């Protein structure tokens, strides 16, 4: 799963603003590029296809490799390739390669800078809401594969997130 609190912010008007980190975006793009190619690509080829610096691509590919999503092919014509078919790699899995925790127990510290713990942490009714929202979003991303996106859409069959469906009713 991916880190909910690094990817979402709450606006003063009550809306949710989705924020995807550059690393998460680049990771998704590089995995998609490998899926589209159907073959191995070098760091240089990936960088050219995605208009990114070689050093950035190398860093992102390193994280994808440590997560078991890509593997290096050695030799004169070496490069990187996906470790399994794109239809078996969910967006949630790719994004998870860039975050250690989805809901950190340190969240209450980040909401009260300098105060140690939030004064409401012991009886906070919001923690279960954030955990449930994390689960809904995580399940949604886990239900969309790289192959779905490469094919031009997702296979979520038009199912709305429960949060969005509730908000619109």
Buried b (16+ CB within 10 A) or exposed e, 17-51: eeebeebbebbbbbbbbbbeeeebbbbebbbebbe
pLDDT tens digits, one per residue of 72-102: 999 888 899 999 999 999 999 998 898 744 5
Residue 85 three-state SS: coil
70 exposed, middle or buried (CB, 10 Å; 0-12, 13-18, 19+)?
buried
pLDDT tens digits, one per residue of 3-12: 444 455 444 4
* Cα distance between residue 46 and residue 43, in whole Å: 5
Considering Cα of 52, then 70, then 140, then 32, what sign does the dihedral take?
A: positive
With respect to CATH, is domain 4-168 assigned 1.10.10.10? yes
Residues 6+ apart with CB under 8 A from 103: 4, 5, 130, 131, 134
Among 20-29, 62-71, 94-103, 154-163, the range with the most confident prediction by mean pLDDT is 62-71
pTM surpassing 0.85? no
Give one word for 136, left, alpha or beta, with left for phi > 0 and alpha for psi -120 to 50: alpha
Q: Which residue has the higher pLDDT, 103 or 140?
A: 140
Confidence of residue 163 (pLDDT cuts 50, 70, 90): very low
Residues 6+ apart with CB under 8 A from 164: none
The pLDDT, as a whole number, for residue 125 is 74
Question: Could you identify the residue written with the tokens 């606006």?
Answer: 11
Of 1-10, 14-23, 41-50, 147-156, give the lowest mean pLDDT range.
1-10
Confidence of residue 30 (pLDDT cuts 50, 70, 90): very high
Largest Cα–Cα separation, the chain: 60
Tokens of 69: 């999503």
Domain boundaries, the chain: 4-168
Tokens of 65: 């490799």
């Amino acid at each position: 799963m991916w880190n909910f609190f690094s990817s979402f912010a709450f606006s003063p008007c009550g809306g949710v603003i989705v924020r995807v980190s550059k690393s998460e975006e680049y990771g998704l793009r590089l995995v998609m590029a490998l899926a589209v190619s159907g073959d191995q690509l070098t760091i240089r080829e990936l960088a050219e296809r995605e208009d990114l610096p070689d050093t950035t691509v190398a860093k992102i590919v390193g994280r994808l490799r440590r997560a078991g999503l890509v593997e290096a092919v050695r030799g004169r014509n070496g490069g990187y390739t996906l470790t399994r078919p794109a239809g078996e790699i969910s967006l949630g899995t790719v994004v998870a390669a860039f975050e250690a925790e989805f809901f950190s127990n340190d969240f209450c510290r980040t909401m009260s800078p300098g105060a140690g713990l939030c004064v409401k942490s012991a009886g906070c009714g919001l923690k279960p809401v954030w955990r449930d929202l994390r689960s809904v979003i995580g399940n949604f991303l886990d239900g969309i594969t790289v192959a779905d996106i490469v094919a031009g859409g997702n296979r979520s069959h038009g199912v709305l997130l429960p949060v969005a469906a509730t908000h619109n009713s």
